[in-house]
């Protein structure tokens, strides 16, 4: 079956492709000719994930899933949250976003945070939502050059390495996106594609 993942992020697409069952042909936005930036005007991760999936399903006619992810830092009252990708500005620069978080946490001892991913699936006229959360701490400085986004400054609980230092396979096994996608995979496996 063909399924669109509503993202322009090649890193996310690659991560997810490694997790889905072989019976699913995963298409990117570029594969279906969608080169525009889909508006993310929701006030929650759930709203943004739904907006993106609905956009693709209505405009292009494909079954589709999308995700929205946020980093929620306790000491920043849950920021950057829904604004994680554009925390340091509309240019969506990961280095600038990390620098802003690290600057705001300078001298702050309490560095607990969590990543949350919401996956919204439109399939056969049905809607399904899957969540994944991973708790951890924000490091004092960037560590590692793997992953993307805030990965080099997020150390998941129970690990000595940041997401930026973990292998892709290890990160996928424990990450917020990995947990949400595993629920999506279980959903497909139960439908016996």
Q: Indicate which residues carry an active-site annotation.
A: 68
d(CA 134, CA 104) in angstroms, rounded, equals: 22
Strand partners, 85: none
Name the helix (H) or strand (E) containing 185.
helix 176-190
Nearest Cα neighbor of 159 from 143, 179, 177, 182 is 143
Nearest Cα neighbor of 162 from 176, 181, 179, 142 is 142
User: How many C-beta atoms surround the C-beta of residue 44 within 10 A?
Assistant: 13
Cα-Cα end-to-end distance for the chain:
8
Give the helix ranges, DSSP H, for 18-144.
45-60, 94-104
d(CA 10, CA 150) in angstroms, rounded, equals: 16
d(CA 122, CA 105) in angstroms, rounded, equals: 38
């Amino acid at each position: 079956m063909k399924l669109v993942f509503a993202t322009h992020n090649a890193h996310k697409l690659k991560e997810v492709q490694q997790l889905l069952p072989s019976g699913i042909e995963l298409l990117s936005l570029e594969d279906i000719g969608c080169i525009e930036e889909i508006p993310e005007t929701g006030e929650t991760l759930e709203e943004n994930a739904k907006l993106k999936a609905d956009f693709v399903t209505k405009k292009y006619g494909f079954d589709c899933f999308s995700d929205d992810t946020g980093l929620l830092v306790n000491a920043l009252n849950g920021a950057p949250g829904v604004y994680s990708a554009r925390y340091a500005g509309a240019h969506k620069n990961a280095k600038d976003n990390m620098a802003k978080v690290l600057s705001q946490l300078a001298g702050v001892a309490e560095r607990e945070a969590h990543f949350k991913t919401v996956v919204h699936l439109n399939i056969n006229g049905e809607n399904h939502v899957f969540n994944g959360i991973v708790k951890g701490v924000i490091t004092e400085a960037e560590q590692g050059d793997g992953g993307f986004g805030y990965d080099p400054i997020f150390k998941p609980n129970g690990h000595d390495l940041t997401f930026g230092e973990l292998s892709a396979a290890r990160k996928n096994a424990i990450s917020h996106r990995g947990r949400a996608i595993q629920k999506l995979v279980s959903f497909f496996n139960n439908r016996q594609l």
